[in-house]
A and B are shown apart, each in its own frame.
Chain A
Amino acid sequence: MSGEALFEVEALNVTYVDPRRSVRAVRDVSFALGRERLGIVGESGYGKSTLGRALLGLVQFPGIVEAQTLKFQGRDLKSFKPAEWQALRGRHVSMVMQDAKYSLNPVRRVGEQIMETYRLHNSKDRREARRRALEMLDAVRIREPEAVFDLYPHQLSGGMGQRAMIAMMLIGNPEALIADEPTSSLDVTVQNQVLRVMDELVAKRGMGLILISHNLSVVSSFCDRILVMYGGRIVESLDRDRLESARHPYTRALFASAPSLTHPVETLSVVKRDPAWAE
């Protein structure tokens, strides 16, 4: 971790309450995010996305967020009121979701939507917002920003849609970006282009990034540090170049279960889950 912490999280719990039973989706999670690329890996249903949403105050009833510490740049998020969250989101922390097609408004032009984000947090001036939106589209390497500005989301390819989303999320110049499976619906070659755009912008602006993904090769090749989640818990924290030294049996089994181009095996190893891991 470098510099001061953007996020400080201690003993974060998210529980979904139901009259019959309650589910603890995130359990006792503690970590700090600096100006770094932090990866969160784990399989479906292990609380990765819920954790990301909790950091943005997006967990809604019946979900309940509790934490000993939940701070952003030293400000206590636990006491935040809806208006304060509103001011935080987009301006200081943004989130890129998996599918731009579902996250963008289908009946409004892409450029308008990017402008809206800018005008919400910065200047209300339409002309300036338009100029900034075009700059941003250019920054995410969309070739003809002027043309793409006037397109509707369904007219974009997957990779372009995702880049437009990144443009929209970064136009407010946030300090931290949470990317939840940002490249999972994309082809591998496009996936790497989108990661590159995100990587360069985050580095240039000195932002902190949380990349949530189930894709081990993406996370391990992109992030400086990786948190492994199992059953809502962080079972292990690994530095990028120390993946081989993973100690937790789940982490080891997970990495071993992925087929590899360079290390072929006859039979893939299967994760044998130990109930004790979730405790």
Chain B
Amino acid sequence: MSSQPRSMIEVDDLHVSFKRGRGRIAAVQGVSFVVSAGATFGIVGESGSGKSTVLHAIAGLVPAPSSAVLIEGRPMPTTRVKSDRRLLQYVFQDPYGSLHPRQTVDRILREPLEIHRVEERDAAIAAALADVGLGPEHRYRYPHQLSGGQRQRVAIARALVLSPRILLLDEPTSALDVSIQAEILNLLARLRRERSLTSVFVSHDLAVVAHLCDTIAVMRLGRIVETLPVATLRAGEAGSAYTRELIAASKGYSRAEGLGEA
């Protein structure tokens, strides 16, 4: 925060493909961007655009050549070691699916601390819960005893308990009601300020991404169509036709424009 932004994450000409039958599907084709320290970078796109795969590649969950992902200027090896993994943490879309149904909140938050051999685990868990606005009464509950918003808070606490430098957010509010979404977005904004986290936020919802991010990449069919500052997006000065189409679509249904065309 103090010094001028250096690059925290660099994605350089990233290609990811998956085997499918006899051929391969190119999910990500030559994606490049830089996220400076403390910034929040947004990726928007529709299903199948490859936005989540980019996040997976940054986290090392899909194999990518080490030259394609750099964190703090250091190329990330294809097989990551524990200290690489600790740099970044993930929050997933589905607060129902991403927490172990038979573990208490305490157990869920303790596991990463044990894996990374962090001491004073009890204090760390209590602090993480308080940080995401959950009380001590939630600590020994099971996920099914929590609401969707509370579960997503647990998922965020689990990500923060290791004090990562980078937070990767994959549609963290898509499964939530608008009012709960507002609470989670406010929470993320506060945490980012307090902890000077660098984050990459993936969502299909332009308004949500624009709310939290400084710069947005629009993806389509595995490629970045356009990278633009949020101010440009809000001003409606997007360069590509696809981005403008997305903006128009996310403003809601328009009866007039539909007459005639399919």
Interface contact A261-B247, CB-CB below 8 Å: yes
- Max chain B CB contacts within 10 Å: which of A189, A220, A222? A189
Residue A267, interface by CB 8 Å: yes
A interface secondary structure, majority: helix
Residue A188, interface by CB 8 Å: yes
Interface contact A221-B252, CB-CB below 8 Å: yes
Interface contact B207-A259, CB-CB below 8 Å: yes
Residue B88, interface by CB 8 Å: no
Residue A64, interface by CB 8 Å: no
Determine the distance from Cα of A261 to Cα of B262 in the docked complex, in whole angstroms. Answer: 26
Place the interface of chain B in its size category. 20 to 34
Residue A123, interface by CB 8 Å: no
- Max chain B CB contacts within 10 Å: which of A141, A262, A265? A262
Q: Which of B207, B210, B246 contacts A258 (CB 8 A)?
A: B207
B interface secondary structure, majority: helix
A254 → B minimal CB distance (Å):
6
- 22 A-B contact pairs sorted by A residue (CB < 8 Å): A43-B179, A44-B177, A187-B46, A187-B204, A188-B205, A189-B245, A199-B258, A216-B178, A218-B253, A253-B179, A254-B178, A257-B182, A258-B178, A258-B207, A259-B182, A261-B206, A261-B234, A261-B247, A261-B251, A268-B186, A270-B186, A271-B182
Interface contact A191-B177, CB-CB below 8 Å: no
Q: Which of A44, A189, A257 contacts B246 (CB 8 A)?
A: A189
Determine the distance from Cα of A220 to Cα of B207 in the docked complex, in whole angstroms. Answer: 16
Residue B221, interface by CB 8 Å: no
Interface residues of B in 168-194 (CB under 8 A from A): 177-183, 185-186, 189
Interface residues of A in 204-240 (CB under 8 A from B): 214, 216-218, 220-222
Interface contact B252-A217, CB-CB below 8 Å: yes
Residues of B participating in the A interface, judged by any CB pair closer than 8 Å: 46-47, 148, 177-183, 185-186, 189, 204-208, 210-211, 233-234, 245-247, 249-255, 258, 262
A258 to chain B: which residues have CB within 8 Å?
A: 178, 181-182, 207
Interface contact A262-B179, CB-CB below 8 Å: no
Nearest chain A residue, comparing its CB with the CB of B189: A267
Known: A192-B258, A196-B258. 4 other contacts (CB 8 A): A192-B254, A221-B251, A254-B179, A261-B206
A6 → B minimal CB distance (Å):
21
**3 cross-chain pairs, A with B, having the tightest CB-CB distances, nearest first:** A221-B252, A259-B211, A257-B182
Nearest chain A residue, comparing its CB with the CB of B204: A187
B149 → A minimal CB distance (Å):
10
Residue A73, interface by CB 8 Å: no
Interface contact A218-B207, CB-CB below 8 Å: no
Determine the distance from Cα of A246 to Cα of B249 in the docked complex, in whole angstroms. Answer: 24
B186 → A minimal CB distance (Å):
6
Q: Which of B180, B210, B245, B246 contacts A259 (CB 8 A)?
A: B210
Determine the distance from Cα of A269 to Cα of B47 in the docked complex, in whole angstroms. Answer: 29
Interface contact B253-A221, CB-CB below 8 Å: yes
Q: Which of B179, B210, B247, B253 contacts A192 (CB 8 A)?
A: B253
Residue A139, interface by CB 8 Å: no
Interface contact A261-B250, CB-CB below 8 Å: yes
Interface contact A220-B251, CB-CB below 8 Å: no
Determine the distance from Cα of A43 to Cα of B255 in the docked complex, in whole angstroms. Answer: 25
B148 to chain A: which residues have CB within 8 Å?
A: 44
Given contacts A43-B177, A270-B182, A271-B179, contact A264 B250 (CB under 8 A): no
B183 to chain A: which residues have CB within 8 Å?
A: 270
Interface contact B262-A264, CB-CB below 8 Å: no
Interface contact A261-B178, CB-CB below 8 Å: no
B96 → A minimal CB distance (Å):
12
